[in-house]
Copies of this chain bind each other. A is one copy, B any other.
């Protein structure tokens, strides 16, 4: 439980995009967390853009407000599966989901 807690704190303490600097994590681990954080952030963006509340999104994906909050907060108890499913439920295309976790899009190319 200590480990999970740490990861959560870590992911909340650092800004998205600097996940590479997480100390003590292997490159794969950071890459994975980075992806999840990007999905999380994007989920919030998508939801807000559609003027939905967490409660409404929860209903849409047959979950609960608290879990939606945790998804958006990058809580480590949330799986990538759930994040991706939710994004798809919000109407994001597969292509879009892909873009979300794609590396820093400075310009256009991917």
Q: Which residues of A contact B (CB under 8 A)?
A: 27-28, 31-32, 34-35, 79-81, 84-85, 88-89, 93-95, 97-98, 101-103, 110
Contacts and interface: CB of A to CB of B under 8 A. Distances in A.
A35 B79 contact: no
| Chain A binding surface, main DSSP class | helix
A75 B87 CA distance: 22
Contacts of A101: 94, 97-98
Nearest to A95: B103
Given A103-B94, A103-B95, A32 B88 contact: yes
A93 B97 CA distance: 17
A71 to B, nearest CB: 14
